[in-house]
């Protein structure tokens, strides 16, 4: 595999990790407020932000590869918007991470409906982002 292919393959792996967390978060939301597994909660809390960082880093690496640069070089504004969205999504991920920790410790400032709304919005945004990245690198 060439360097560009390896980077794109790694991005696909990071996408799969993100989508798995999205599914786990949706399962959590569906179980609120009564059937929350503390072990799953701790696992999601630990994994969410690192997975986001890894995916963002891999996307930036892929954007620097020659094959993708030729494809997206004319899309500087789109790439700039995507970087801004990364920061917004990372902020949401950190907020969700904090809320999951509070929930696991026995209390949170968010009621279950607000928590579900926050998580569903994040999951929807990340799924759209994965689809866009796959379309741009596909």
Tokens at 94, concatenated? 């950190």
CATH number at residue 82: 1.20.120
pLDDT digits (tens, 9 = 90+) for 64-102: 765 555 666 667 778 888 889 999 999 999 999 988 888
pLDDT digits (tens, 9 = 90+) for 3-31: 567 888 999 999 999 999 999 999 988 88
Q: Where are the beta strands (DSSP E) in the chain?
A: none
Alpha carbon distance 25, 35 (integer Å): 13
Q: Three-state SS for 111?
A: coil
Alpha carbon distance 76, 73 (integer Å): 6
pLDDT of residue 1: 43
- In total, how many domains does the chain have? 1
pLDDT digits (tens, 9 = 90+) for 28-52: 888 877 777 888 888 888 999 999 9
pLDDT of residue 37: 80
Name the pTM for this structure. 0.82
């Amino acid at each position: 595999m060439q360097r560009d292919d390896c980077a794109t393959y790694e991005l696909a792996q990071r996408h799969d990790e993100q989508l798995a967390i999205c599914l786990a978060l949706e399962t959590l939301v569906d179980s609120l407020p009564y059937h929350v597994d503390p072990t799953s909660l701790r696992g999601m809390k630990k994994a969410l932000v690192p997975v986001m960082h890894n995916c963002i880093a891999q996307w930036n690496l892929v954007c620097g590869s020659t094959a993708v640069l030729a494809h997206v070089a004319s899309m500087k504004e789109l790439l700039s918007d995507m970087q801004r969205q990364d920061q917004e999504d990372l902020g949401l991920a950190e907020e969700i991470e904090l809320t999951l920790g509070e929930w696991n410790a026995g209390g949170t400032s968010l009621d279950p409906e607000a928590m579900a709304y926050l998580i569903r919005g994040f999951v929807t945004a990340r799924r759209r982002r994965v689809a866009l990245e796959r379309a741009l690198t596909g």
